[in-house]
Structure 1
Amino acid sequence: MDILGTVISISDTPNTQNYYFVVNKESKITKGLFVETETREGILIGRVEEIIKTNRYFTQPETISNYEISIDTIFPTDKWEYIICKVKCLGTISNSSIKKVNYPVSPGQAIAIATNENLNKLFKFDENGIYIGNLLNHSIDVKISMNRLFQKHLAILALSGAGKSYATCVLLEEILNRNEEQGKVGGIIIDPHGEYTSFAYDDRFSSKINLIKGKDIRINTSKLSYYAKEFLPNLSFAQERDLLKIIKQLKGNDDVFSIKEIMTEIEKSEEIKQATKEVLLANLNLLNSLRIFGYYDSPSPESLISPGIISILDISEITNNKKKQIIVSYFLRELFNKRVHRRIPPFVAFIEEAHNFAPEKSNKEIFSKPVIEKIAREGRKFNALLCLISQRPVHLSTTSLSQCNTHMYLRITNPYDLDHIGRSCEGLTRDLLNSINSLEVGEAVIVGEAASYPLFIKIREKTVCDIETNKSLEDEAKEFSEIDNNKKRDINELMK
């Protein structure tokens, strides 16, 4: 065992929260390193939170300022330079069980790098778990039990470009690669930017992917009898009652029908007042203009969830926000209801740009927020689970975010976002929030149900092939100029 240093007694330490140790000159120490030492309770595991370099010759500024030449030429200053590390106590390992720290380490005790065996015990890694990456500063794979990671909902939060979609791809790969002995779950991705469609074009994953393009999505018009209040929120009670009567009448004919046929029946009805007709027809006409309601569900909600299969709802080509809201609201509610009645297998719903579908501040036309909050509150009882992915936590529903018992943070710098997640997630200290601010791209910290203690990791490399979803500014400008010049050249040729 390589000794890093020795525990010292300064600033009311050692205590059960923190201690300091002096580093041996030949030791290489890094911030975030996990260390261990012996106490009377067992092996105490801690994390290096800060590294301080000091020198007794440079402790008094007024003395240094009086020297006209460098003090290094007069005194052996290099021999008095030393490093002190501040360590946060995490837990004590005793007889293979993990306990909170109830007794401090003794001054003079030797400090060593925590062994992989002890780190596995501390974080309860699972050999059959989801392989996310490697523990920062240590050569140990981070494999977290699927139950611990997803069963009480997961939130992946980061600023744009910090790697949240990359981390999500890694999780999707792990779900797709699981075998029956490990347990397979179904998955659905709400993909507003087409970032995950690459799975459908990769031969290693394509057989397990169900890709649905936004233009192909349809909702059975007869379902308006259940969703009229949600999708037509401006109707009065009387107006909604008259609409439901017409829909019930059409459903009684045992035939499929469209919104236009509902409108025709409303116009023909002698029981509905003219003023009510005008309101109903105006609202239905707006709904019909979205071109989303048809004779049947496409796809059917049941076909979206199968063990080991992930369905991708690619709504990147849909520009109408109301249409996106209706799609997300309808399919999530249908899936949740079917899971409650055990008609479909357990599933995880990955919602990219979750702050747009469950915003903190919303209006009547944010149809998806109520169902997302409902699944967040009740879904874990039925294994209908959420993974909320967002670059603006401050705009994400506090109700939804607070129900996610595991959070994965990549780099976040916005102070409002940091303050919001600090209030939404229990156990987040100010030091931890500051660490989130300084993470590198591809680094993450996991806190909550999935990690007994804050877990700093380097996300592993994904294996799914990338498809070109965007180009650099320079490449896009060159390509546009080339196309434009070709058009002008063709026109000139025709004019000759």
Structure 2
Amino acid sequence: MNDQPSLKQFLDELSSYADQDAAQGAASAARAGVPPIGQVLEIAGSGSRVVMDADKLNELQSHSDQSMSMSGQVGSQVKVKVGSSWLVANVRTLRAGDEHGTVIANVDFLGEGSQRSDGSLASFRRGVTRYPIPGAAILPVTTEDMRAIFAADDSPHVEIGTVYPTDDIRGTLYVDPMLSKHFAILGSTGTGKSTSVALILHRISQLSPEGHIVMIDPHGEYSAAFKSCGELFNVDNLQLPYWLLNFEEHCEVLLTTDGAERQRDADILAKCLLAARTKSTQSAQFGKVTVDSPIPYLLTDLNQILVAEMGKLDRAGDTTPYQRLKNKLDELRADPRYAFMFSGMLVSDSMASFVAKLFRLPSHGRPISIVDVSGVPSEVTSVVVSVLARMVFDYAIWSRTEAQRPLLLVCEEAHRYVPKDENSGGQAVRKILERIAKEGRKYGVSLGLITQRPSDLAEGVLSQCGTIISMRLNNDRDQACVRAAMPEGARGFLDAIPALRNRECIVCGEGVAIPIRVRFDDLEPEKRPASSDPSFANSWRETGDEEGIIQRTIKRWRGHGK
């Protein structure tokens, strides 16, 4: 840089030579009252380097325009003139320049827009068609420019908050691109993640009151948030028929062994389960019946078939696997905790009504089903989630010839069900969620993953999410995982993730025009999930009725069987 004119000389000369190509941006900016702050140093694909005048940046910090006052800071935007277009870039890193009073910045180009008569930016769109040449003037982005950059088009969209650092520019999510290519909401505990999830789902529900959303709620947080616009299901009213389980899910519930013994038990279960399904009075009308077919069968039939098969054996020792299966089956039928799944001796074909109420077909203005699995015994929670997710996917596959009714499956605490460890339990739920992530968009199934530990998610699942909404993440591994999943142009925003305030997020991907930092709107108290942390200091000051609290708690505890 020493053999070139100084940056200050360059900026001064721009005013004198406004007719030169390198000065076109400055001339346009002068008409809008915006001073140049630097010049392009090096161009390299999506990312480039610019040099800026530290004094001019310091002067801008007291500017009345909030966007201009942030210019030159990490995460802020700058613009450069290329032909008749403005190119917008995001500042990723800053360091002191070789020349005194200069700052070197790495920037990522986000998109471009046309120029209005007053020199400001208009009609912004993602992507870059022409790059600037080294020496082109760098200018700060004004609030009016920001309005053009973040102006929502006519596509269906929802507003979720305010774009940083402005007070009134709205951050929007485009619903179709976000849902058709899946999305993930990430954030450490205590960042306001649950409330933000509720806000986004409320806004989508308001936009599409006849939508079809199924949410898996492992902690019972969201029932309070959606009681006015959703249907709430838990162990008391879910009534999930056991015969909807496929063979793999039957194995996870009924088999208790490992290794070679497990394979032997599975072979026996497959034979007996197929016989029970085939014996069903309804099986004849469905043609070919397989061990996976969701055809109602009686548990008593399965029991009798196990006993009959056991009776055919010569040596008493061979009956052990049959006895294991029979004992487990008897245990499930007798355990009141499993009544929501293994209830009663009478079996009716309730599949149509179950699908209709769970998938909100029709919605009647209540488009979301909250399935609270907090009361489900922990041994079968992953199986219950597997059945629900698989039914969403299977319904979409088998209804392809009908009028389209796309489904959104939202999975809270997703790292539980699609863990990085491939040898952990719950393989059925892992397989179906991975399949939805890879293939769901072909069939009109959208997946929303919510997690506080993205680094514990299976490899590849996060990268299948076209839109990533990241709140503050405190763990280095989680930050690295999100960094790997986010597109190149969002790198400047990623450095802000550890510094985000509560209820603030970075959004990038298909659901937004360009990566944005957004402060979420406040949600009405009656629409918030029951996830607020208790105040130890306040609660520990309260006394009275401890005996009654204990008695009522123990009654519920014992009555629930857990």
- TM-score bracket for the superposition, by shorter chain length: 0.7 to 0.9
Cα offset, 1:189, TM superposition: 0.8
2:406/2:444 contact within 8 Å kept: yes
Cα offset, 1:92, TM superposition: 2.7
Cα offset, 1:451, TM superposition: 3.1
1:353 aligned partner: 413
How is 1:362-381 mapped onto 2 (pairs within 5 angstroms)?
362-381=423-442
2:91/2:492 contact within 8 Å kept: no
Matched, 1:283 2:328: yes
How is 1:403-482 mapped onto 2 (pairs within 5 angstroms)?
403-427=464-488, 431-463=492-524, 465=526, 466=528, 468-469=530-531, 470-479=533-542, 481-482=543-544
Looking at structure 1, the residues matched to 199 and 37 of structure 2 have their Cα atoms a distance apart, in angstroms, of: 40
Matched, 1:195 2:194: no
Looking at structure 1, the residues matched to 281 and 243 of structure 2 have their Cα atoms a distance apart, in angstroms, of: 7
Looking at structure 2, the residues matched to 472 and 267 of structure 1 have their Cα atoms a distance apart, in angstroms, of: 57
Q: What are the Cα deviations for residues 229-276 of structure 1, in whole angstroms up to 9, with x where unaligned?
A: 454464332342133313432556999765356324533553466234
SS at match of 2:225: helix
Q: What are the Cα deviations for residues 45-97 of structure 1, in whole angstroms up to 9, with x where unaligned?
A: 122445668999xx7xxxxxxxxxxxxxxxxxxxxx78776654323324855
Q: Structure 2 unaligned segments of length 5 or more: list them.
A: 1-31, 62-68, 116-122, 256-261, 285-294, 551-562
Looking at structure 2, the residues matched to 423 and 33 of structure 1 have their Cα atoms a distance apart, in angstroms, of: 21
Matched, 1:339 2:390: no
Looking at structure 2, the residues matched to 26 and 426 of structure 1 have their Cα atoms a distance apart, in angstroms, of: 33
Cα offset, 1:353, TM superposition: 0.4
Cα offset, 1:391, TM superposition: 0.3
Matched, 1:153 2:186: no
1:243 aligned partner: 273
Looking at structure 1, the residues matched to 412 and 253 of structure 2 have their Cα atoms a distance apart, in angstroms, of: 22
Looking at structure 2, the residues matched to 468 and 443 of structure 1 have their Cα atoms a distance apart, in angstroms, of: 20
Q: What are the Cα deviations for residues 111-141 of structure 1, in whole angstroms up to 9, with x where unaligned?
A: 1324546654578655641212121113321
Matched, 1:322 2:418: no
Cα offset, 1:7, TM superposition: 1.5
Looking at structure 1, the residues matched to 454 and 476 of structure 2 have their Cα atoms a distance apart, in angstroms, of: 11
The verdict on how the C-alpha distance between 1:148 and 1:253 changes in structure 2, with shifts beyond 3 A counting, is closer
Letter of the 2:520 counterpart: I
Instruction: Pick one of 38, 51, 71 that aligns with 2:81.
Output: 38
The verdict on how the C-alpha distance between 1:267 and 1:99 changes in structure 2, with shifts beyond 3 A counting, is closer
RMSD of aligned residue pairs (Cα, Å): 3.6
Equivalent pairs, count: 454
Looking at structure 1, the residues matched to 508 and 494 of structure 2 have their Cα atoms a distance apart, in angstroms, of: 11
The verdict on how the C-alpha distance between 1:214 and 1:221 changes in structure 2, with shifts beyond 3 A counting, is closer
Looking at structure 2, the residues matched to 312 and 177 of structure 1 have their Cα atoms a distance apart, in angstroms, of: 16
1:21 aligned partner: 52
Cα offset, 1:447, TM superposition: 1.9
Range 123-132 or range 33-42, more displaced: 123-132
Looking at structure 2, the residues matched to 286 and 102 of structure 1 have their Cα atoms a distance apart, in angstroms, of: 69
Letter of the 2:534 counterpart: K
Matched, 1:170 2:190: no
Looking at structure 2, the residues matched to 256 and 45 of structure 1 have their Cα atoms a distance apart, in angstroms, of: 60
Letter of the 1:195 counterpart: E
Cα offset, 1:331, TM superposition: 1.5
Looking at structure 1, the residues matched to 43 and 438 of structure 2 have their Cα atoms a distance apart, in angstroms, of: 42
Q: What are the Cα deviations for residues 364-423 of structure 1, in whole angstroms up to 9, with x where unaligned?
A: 434311111111111101111100000011111223222112111111121111223334
2:244 aligned partner: 223
Matched, 1:310 2:350: no
Cα offset, 1:348, TM superposition: 0.9
2:302 aligned partner: 262
Looking at structure 1, the residues matched to 547 and 250 of structure 2 have their Cα atoms a distance apart, in angstroms, of: 52
Looking at structure 2, the residues matched to 121 and 48 of structure 1 have their Cα atoms a distance apart, in angstroms, of: 16
Q: Structure 1 unaligned segments of length 5 or more: list them.
A: 60-80, 489-496
Looking at structure 1, the residues matched to 111 and 52 of structure 2 have their Cα atoms a distance apart, in angstroms, of: 18
Matched, 1:400 2:420: no
Letter of the 1:262 counterpart: L
Looking at structure 2, the residues matched to 219 and 458 of structure 1 have their Cα atoms a distance apart, in angstroms, of: 39
Instruction: Pick one of 274, 280, 283 that aligns with 2:319.
Output: 274
Letter of the 1:448 counterpart: G
SS at match of 2:437: helix
Cα offset, 1:432, TM superposition: 4.3
1:126/1:144 contact within 8 Å kept: no
Looking at structure 1, the residues matched to 136 and 160 of structure 2 have their Cα atoms a distance apart, in angstroms, of: 37
